[in-house]
A and B are shown apart, each in its own frame.
Chain A
Amino acid sequence: MYDAPQTQREVDLTQTKIAARNVQVYYGDTHAIKDVDVNIEDKTVTAFIGPSGCGKSTFLRCLNRMNDTIDVCRVEGDILIDGEDIYDKRVDPVQLRAKVGMVFQKPNPFPKSIYDNVAYGPRIHGLAKNKADLDDIVERALRRGAIWDEVKDRLQSPGTGLSGGQQQRLCIARAVATEPEVLLMDEPWSALDPIATAQVEELIDELRQNYSVVIVTHSMQQAARVSQKTAFFHLGNLVEFGETGQIFTNPEDPRTESYITGRIG
C-alpha cells in the first residue's frame, strides 16, 4: 500500500487535473448528465458510484471524448484537462485519448495475439525503439495487469481465447502500456476473482503515484479501499462529491446516505 507522508500527499492533492464545468450530455432527447461540476485531482484515485443507469459510464466517456463515436450523443459545458478545454475545436481527440486511457466496462480484446493486443498502443504511438524495447513494455504492462504469469507461455495465442476475467486484465494491461496520464476504468473487475481484484487494486494504488485514476465501481467497500475522492451520481446528477472517508461516514445528502446504506439503487 502507498504510504507517503501525509504532508506530501496534501500538496499533490491540491493540483486539479480535470475540471468539469456545467456538463450536460444528451443522447438524442434523453438528458443523461445534468449540470455536473467536478474537479478531479492529479495523483488521486477518484471513484464514481451510483445506481445502474445513473450516467457514470457516460460521464467517464466524456473525459476522453469517447462519446464522439456515438452519433446521437451531444456534450455541452466545459471539460478542462491541465487547464485546456478538451472540447475545443483545436484539440485532436486522438491525442487526447493517448493521454487519457480507458478500460471499458465490457472486455474488448482485439482479435489478435495477446502480445499484439498489448503492443497495439505502443506501436501506434511509437513508444518502443526496437523489438526488445517493445518486448519489455509488453511484459511490464502484463505484469501490472496481473496476468503475466498466466499468459507468458502463450503470448502468440489470440486474446479472444482468454477467459472473461483474463480478457479484462488484458485490457487493463493494454491501457497501461501506452503510459496514459489519466486512466479511466469502468468497472474493470466485474469478472475478476478476489485475488485478481486485489492485484488490480494494488495496480491502481501504484498508478496513483504518477497518474490520476478514475474508477467506476458498484462495490462500496472497494470504493472505500482504493479511492481518495468519491463522487455519487443519481439520475444524471452529481449528488455529492468529496473525500471518500467523508462520503462513507458522514454523507451530507440523504440520497447518498440511503444509497450507501442500501436503500436505493
Chain B
Amino acid sequence: MPLFWLLVILLAMAAGGYVLGRARAIRSAGGDSRKLHSLPVYYGSNVALKVFVPAFLVILLWLLIQPVYVASVVSGMLPDGAIPDNSSRGLVMAEVRRAADGLDNAVAAGLMTENQARNARADFQDVTQRLRDAGQIVTSDVTQPVLRSAQRLRVMESTGSMIMAGVAILLALGGLAWGLRDSQLDFRARNVVERGVMVLLIAAASIAIFTTIGIVFSLVFNTYEFFTLYRWQDFFFGTNWAPSFSGRGGSSDLGVVPLLWGTFYISIVALSVAVPVGLFSAIYLSEYATSRLRSVAKPLLEILAGIPTIVYGLFALLTVGPLLMRVFGDEGLGWMQAGTAVMTAGLVMGIMLIPFVSSLSDDIINAVPQAMRDGSYGLGATKSETIRQVVLPAALPGIVGAILLAASRAIGETMIVVLGAGAAARLDLNPFEAMTTVTAKIVSQLTGDADFASPEALVAFALGMTLFVLTLGLNVFALYIVRKYREQYD
C-alpha cells in the first residue's frame, strides 16, 4: 500500500477518533460540558493524538530501518564471484537497486507482468532490453546473481511495507480504544494534550539540534580521515596549494595558507566597501531621513540583500571585472592581468554586504534612546556632534557585532569568488591578482570525479571544518558583543 494512502487512512482515523472522543466525553457528563474536567475539544484531541502519534512514529522508524535491513540481507546473498575484480560490493548493490527499480518501472509500464518480474530467469539480454524500454538506465547487462538479488529485494520491500501498514493500523486502532476509554468526566484531557504539544515542540527543536550535531560529526569524522592520509602540519602551515588530479594522491600539496590568505584578503576588501557605505547610509536613514523617505529607502536597500549571490557573481564577471580592467588593466595602469581578481570579488561582495551592515546598524542606532539625543541637543550640540559623540559610542558595540556578522558572511561567500576572483591559489599582496578562497576550493575539490577516499577529495572536509570553526568563532564573538550591548539600557 503506498505510504500516502496509509497516512490518509491514519489521519481519517484520527479525525474520527476526535469526533467520537468528544461525543463520548460529553455523553459521560450527561450532555453538560461544564461538568467535564477539560473543554470537549481536549477530549477529542486526546483521542486523535493517541490514534495518530504512535502509528506515525512506528512508520517513521520502519522507513528508517527497513532499507538498511533489506540491503544487508540482500548484499549478504550476493556470492563473492558475482563481484567483478575492478568493482566493489557497494557498486554491485547499486546495480541491484537499479535493476529492482527497473523491474518496478517495467511492471508499471505494462512491459512485464508481476509474475514475470518475480520469476524472470535466463535470457538476460531480454530482461536488460525490457528494462531499457521501461526507461531505466542499465549500464551493463544484468547478470543472474544481480537479477536474483533484485527480485529478492523487491519481494522483501513489498512484504515489509505490507507488514508496516498492518502494524500501523493495528496500533492506531489500539490508540483509538485507549483514548475512548479515557474519555470520561474526570479524565484530565487538557493536561495530556498540553504535554503532547510540549513534546511536539521539543521534537521540532531537537530535529534542528540533532541535524546540526550530525553535520558537525560528519565534518569531524571526515576531517579526521583526511588527517590520517595527510600530515596536519602540511595542511595548516603549507604555503602551496597544488592538488594533483591523477586520483592516486601522494604528489599533492594541500597547504591551506594561500586559501586562508585569499579569504582574508577578499573579505577585507569587501568589508572596507560595506562598512563605511553601510554605516553611513544607516546613519542617514535613522537620523536625517524623513520618515517617509525612510519607509521607502529602507526596504529598497534591503532588496539588495534578496538578490541571489550568483547574480552578484555574474555582475562581477561581466561588469565589474571588465570595468576594472579598463582602468587598471594593460590599457590603463597596467597592474591587472585579467578581470578576475581580489578587487573584483571584494568590491562586489562589499556591495552585497551593504544592506546587511546598514540594516543591522540602523536597528541598533534606532535602539539608542531618544532621551540620550535630547540630552545632547539640550546642551547645544549639533546633529553631527550628537551622532559622533553620543549616538555612535552608545551604538558602537552593536555596530561592531553587525560588522563581525557581515565578516562571517564574507568569509562564507562562494559564488562571487568563483566567478569574480579566479581559481588560482596564490599568496600575493597585489589586490589585482587572481586569488581564491576556502569556499571556492571546496567546490572545485568536490566537483570532478575524484575518488571520495583520496586526500584530494577529503581535504574539502578539512577546509569546511576550518571555515566552520572560523565563522563559528566570529559569530559567537559577535553575539557576545551584541548581547553585552543590549544590557546597557535595561
Contact = CB atoms under 8 A, between A and B. Distances in A.
Given A108-B372, A110-B372, A101 B378 contact: yes
A71 interface: yes
B394 interface: yes
A1 interface: no
Given A104-B374, A108-B372, A110-B375, A121 B393 contact: no
A112 B393 contact: yes
A69 interface: yes
Contacts of B376: 110, 120
A174 B379 contact: yes
A104 B375 contact: yes
Contacts of A71: 290-291
Contacts of B370: 69
A125 B381 CA distance: 8
Contacts of A102: 378
B369 interface: yes
B375 A171 contact: yes
Interface string A109-127: 1111000000011001100
A175 B376 CA distance: 10
Given A108-B369, A111-B394, A121 B374 contact: no
Interface string B348-382: 00000000000000000000011111111111111
Interface in A62-116: 64, 66, 69, 71, 94-99, 101-102, 104, 106, 108-112
B394 to A, nearest CB: 5
A190 interface: no
B377 A111 contact: no
Contacts of A95: 380
A99 to B, nearest CB: 8
A64 B390 contact: no
B374 A110 contact: no
A178 B488 contact: no
A102 B375 CA distance: 8
A160 interface: yes
Given A111-B488, A160-B488, A104 B378 contact: yes
A226 B12 CA distance: 81
A120 B389 contact: yes
A175 B379 contact: yes
Contacts of A174: 375, 379
Contacts of A124: 379-381, 385, 389
A66 B379 contact: no
Given A69-B373, A108-B369, A108-B371, A121 B291 contact: no
Contacts of A112: 393
Contacts of B385: 124
Interface residues of A, number: 28
A203 to B, nearest CB: 17
A111 B290 CA distance: 26
Nearest to B371: A108
Interface in A160-187: 160, 171, 174-175, 178
B380 A178 contact: yes
A91 to B, nearest CB: 13
Interface in B450-477: none
Contacts of A125: 380
Given A94-B377, A96-B380, A98-B379, 13 more contacts: A71-B290, A94-B381, A102-B378, A104-B374, A104-B375, A108-B375, A110-B389, A110-B394, A111-B372, A121-B381, A160-B488, A175-B378, A178-B380
A179 B322 CA distance: 60
B386 to A, nearest CB: 9
A108 B372 CA distance: 6
Contacts of B290: 71
B462 to A, nearest CB: 44
A207 B394 CA distance: 32
Contacts of A178: 379-380
A238 B371 CA distance: 27
Contacts of A66: 374, 377-378
Contacts of B378: 64, 66, 97, 101-102, 104, 175
A110 B370 CA distance: 11
Given A104-B374, A108-B375, A94 B380 contact: yes
A71 B294 CA distance: 14
A97 B371 contact: no
Contact of B371 (A96, A106, A175): A106
A108 B374 contact: yes
A69 B371 CA distance: 11
A218 B379 CA distance: 25
A255 B436 CA distance: 80
A7 to B, nearest CB: 35
Nearest to A99: B380
Most B C-beta atoms less than 10 A away, residue of A102, A104, A110: A110
Contacts of B393: 110-112
A69 B377 contact: yes
Contacts of B389: 110, 120, 124
A174 B376 CA distance: 10
Most A C-beta atoms less than 10 A away, residue of B369, B370, B382: B382
Given A104-B375, A120-B389, A98 B369 contact: no
Interface in B67-105: none
A110 B390 contact: yes
9 contacts: A64-B378, A71-B290, A101-B379, A110-B390, A111-B488, A120-B376, A160-B488, A171-B375, A174-B375
Nearest to B389: A120
Nearest to A98: B380
Nearest to A124: B381
Contacts of B371: 104, 106, 108
Most B C-beta atoms less than 10 A away, residue of A99, A104, A108, A171: A108
A124 B380 CA distance: 8
